[in-house]
Amino acid sequence: MIKRDLMAALWLVFLGSLLGMTQATAQTPEARGLEIAQEVNHRDTGFGDYQVDMEMLLRNQHGDESLRYMRSRVMEVSGDGDKSMIIFDRPRDVKGTALLTYTHKSEPDDQWLYLPALKRVKRIASRNKSGPFMGSEFAYEDLTSQEVEKYTYRFLQETELNGQPMFLIERYPVDENSGYKKQQVWINQVEYRAEKIDFYDRKESLLKTLVFQDYHQYLGQYWRSGEMVMQNHQTGKSTVLTWKNFQFRNGFTESDFKKNALKRAK
Amino acid sequence: MDKQLAAILLIACLLFPVGVAFAEWSAEFSLEGRWHTEEAVDPQQHSGGLSLSGLAEYYASWDGGDQQLVFKPFFRTSEYHDGRAHVDIRELYWLMSGDDWELRVGVDKVFWGVTEAYHLVDVINQADLLENPDGEQKLGQPMIKYSHEGEVGVLDAYLLLGFRERAFPNEKGRLRTHPMVDVNNAQYETHKDYPGFAARWSGSLDDWDLGLAYFHGISREPRFELSLAEGVPVLTPHYDVIDQVSLDVQLVDDDWLWKFETLYRSGSANSYAAATGGFEYTFVGIADTDMDLGVLLELIYDDRAELAATPFNRDVFIGLRWVGNDVAGTEVLAGLLYDQQNHSRFLGVEASRRLVNDWKFEFQLRRWLGIALDDPTYAYRQDDYFEAKLIKYL
């Protein structure tokens, strides 16, 4: 009796380890995609905070151009999504308007908009994330913190982009209010940073392509793109977002990302 | 007021350091045409014309941004000499902030509340009715404000120095009462320099935004009594001292914004409770475009009912907000306010669109429909107007 139980236990251990081995050798595409996303996130963890100037050049299908200037401050929050504040400088009619965002890993982000003419802070309904940011080809959700938990993943293949080895992964927004069904992301195999994203709309047709250019490394670790080019394939419009004057570790605290700070941001 | 302003300026100058880290001037000018579509109640009243206004802003910051000086003067001139021409210091304050506190000394504007149709609990600043009958434009209020930030919220304490009387158009002006308000003979329960005090705690917890406030001081809304001035009937404004407690709440739930404001106000003339609340639901990306359409519904309740000095007593507000999300930032807000008791209706439309290089266009339409004799807006019943405004930013 005891012997038979022992034998059964040994079999279980044997089968179990066999299962473990197959998992290690033949990882599912989902697990591999997630692993890559986690590594991207891991390498970008610990930057603390940064501030940066943003310039947006909007171009429509006829070649008409329009400019926007903004400043952004971002603070890393341990155990939750980043906090950020964007202050608008141009166009002039929105000068002094400021957007405060608390991103969350699994819940919808919290957003408040400060309107300087009325001195009023307005809460933004959480679904508005899929809408265009300042009339540009960037949606709000493209510009907020890309937390790992906001997507599920699938590894597609190893490939090349501009002669560099890439992981091509697909990610699917968890939030049903996202404007996208899926995104295909080219991730640099050496630096684990995104080089290109194809956005597919809810009907799964190709909507936009985002290309990250002019990467620079800060604090010897953190890569930031200096120029992002977003091309809308369905409308022919495009937006070039230029990031200038990155400054890391400014010593921002929680109170720099509260409503009072929003009201005195100029 | 003048003495206080001088004192504020002096303090600001004393604190102003030699080396300002950042300073800039900016300004906006707007040329506005307003046309009334109906014949005035009183033949002295004009039918519309042009008006020019300007708002400048000086902003300086130093001490790593922890200290700021803001100065915002405003003026309006008017073609038709209707009393709309005025100047005001919208803002002139010095600000200092630390890790969890902020101090503001000077003239400033403060907004409380969450609703769209009627800003019930918003009590700090006097409404600038010469600018717009909707009361959204405010006169600057001299104050000392101290804020302390906690984990979830912030506590603001206000000492309000000096009272700003409400201004009204003169005999040529539209959007005025008949008989006219005797602005030179305002009556005070105490005196004009009676200081005010206010405190407000506001915070955000998950999907909730909350504000709890107390105000003591001269009511910004005067009460009117019919009297005679040199044998002519006039409305004499009476400014009472009031105590007000208020609560404002907002809940965000996906595409829904739920809003609620309530107050209890007591004064020597009367005491009452009032509330307003409702929702804004946004259809995001309507018809597969970038456009959003918001639907607003708000109810307004005042327990004084038709005795209330305000038209906002038992009303329903239905509104539509269309946002183009385009390069020009086109927006249209249309709303209908309906008085459930006397069936008076008010229709308002506001639209704006950015033009090329620092220019903006705004349009406004206001109509008073079927206004009942006992409604406080009865005086405006023939004052329907539309307004076009061109704004240039410098």
Query: In sequence order, what DSSP letters do the residues of B296-311 get, joined into one string?
Result: EEEEEEETTGGG-SSS
Nearest Cα neighbor of B265 from B312, B216, B309, B299 is B216
Q: For tokens 């902003």, name the residue.
A: B59
CB contact under 8 A, A132 and B325: yes
Is B12's pLDDT higher than 90? no
Nearest Cα neighbor of B241 from B223, B221, B219, B271 is B219
Q: What are the chain B neighbours of A123 within 8 Å (beta carbons)?
A: 114, 209, 250, 252, 257
Q: Which architecture does CATH list for A40-264? A: Clam (2.50)
What pairs with residue B125 in β-bridges? none
Q: What are the chain A neighbours of B111 within 8 Å (beta carbons)?
A: 118-121
Is B1's pLDDT higher than 60? no
What are the pLDDT digits (tens) for A134-158? 999 999 899 988 889 999 999 999 9
CB contact under 8 A, A131 and B95: no
CB contact under 8 A, A264 and B68: yes
Distance CA A94, CA A84 (A): 18
What are the pLDDT digits (tens) for B191-200? 999 999 999 9
Q: Which of B154, B282, B391 is facing A258, going by the closest CB pair?
A: B154
Q: Which of B100, B111, B326 is facing A120, going by the closest CB pair?
A: B111
Q: Which of B97, B154, B284 is facing A130, going by the closest CB pair?
A: B284
A246 in Cβ contact with A218 (< 8 Å): yes
Q: What are the chain A neighbours of B204 within 8 Å (beta carbons)?
A: 110, 112, 259
A114 in Cβ contact with A120 (< 8 Å): yes
How is residue B70 written in tokens? 């803001």
- Domain B2-393 listed as CATH 3.40.50.1820: no
Chain A residues at the B interface, defined by Cβ less than 8 Å, are 58, 60, 66, 91-95, 108, 110, 112, 118-121, 123-128, 130-132, 134-135, 177, 179, 253, 255, 258-260, 264, 266
Bridge-based pairing state of the strands B232-239 and B187-188: parallel
Q: What are the chain B neighbours of A179 within 8 Å (beta carbons)?
A: 285
The question of ipTM being above 0.85 is answered as: yes
Q: What are the chain B neighbours of A108 within 8 Å (beta carbons)?
A: 254
Is A25 strand, coil or helix?
Answer: helix
In sign, the C-alpha dihedral spanning B162, B165, B166, B172 is: negative
Q: What is the mean pLDDT of residues B28-54?
A: 94
Q: What is the mean pLDDT of residues B186-212?
A: 94
Distance CA B325, CA B331 (A): 8
Amino acid, single-letter form, for residue A114: Y
Q: Domain coordinates of chain A in residue numbers?
A: 40-264
Read off the pLDDT band of B19 (50, 70, 90): low
CA distance A11 to chain B (A): 51
Backbone angles phi, psi at B4, to 5 degrees: -65, -40
Read off the pLDDT band of A10 (50, 70, 90): low
DSSP B166: P
CB contact under 8 A, B284 and A259: no
Nearest Cα neighbor of A35 from A187, A248, A225, A231 is A187
Is A170's pLDDT higher than 80? yes
CB contact under 8 A, B285 and A125: no
Q: Domain coordinates of chain B in residue numbers?
A: 2-393
Q: Give the chain B residue whose CA is nearest to the CA of A92.
A: B358
Distance CA B102, CA B107 (A): 15
CA distance A107 to chain B (A): 10
Tell me the three-class secondary structure of B245-287, residue by residue.
Answer: EEEEEEEEECCEEEEEEEEEEEECCCEEEEEEEEEEEEECCHH
Distance CA B246, CA B105 (A): 24
CB contact under 8 A, B285 and A130: yes
Q: Give the chain A residue whose CA is nearest to the CA of B394.
A: A92
Read off the pLDDT band of A1 (50, 70, 90): very low
DSSP B372: -
Nearest Cα neighbor of A72 from A149, A133, A130 is A133
In sign, the C-alpha dihedral spanning A182, B291, A146, A237 is: positive
Task: Name the percent of chain A lying above pLDDT 90.
Answer: 75
Backbone angles phi, psi at B22, to 5 degrees: -150, 135
pTM summary value = 0.89
CA distance B263 to chain A (A): 19
Is A179 strand, coil or helix?
Answer: coil
B70 in Cβ contact with B95 (< 8 Å): yes
Is B94 strand, coil or helix?
Answer: strand
pLDDT for position B82:
76
Nearest Cα neighbor of A76 from A231, A219, A211 is A219
B125 in Cβ contact with B99 (< 8 Å): no
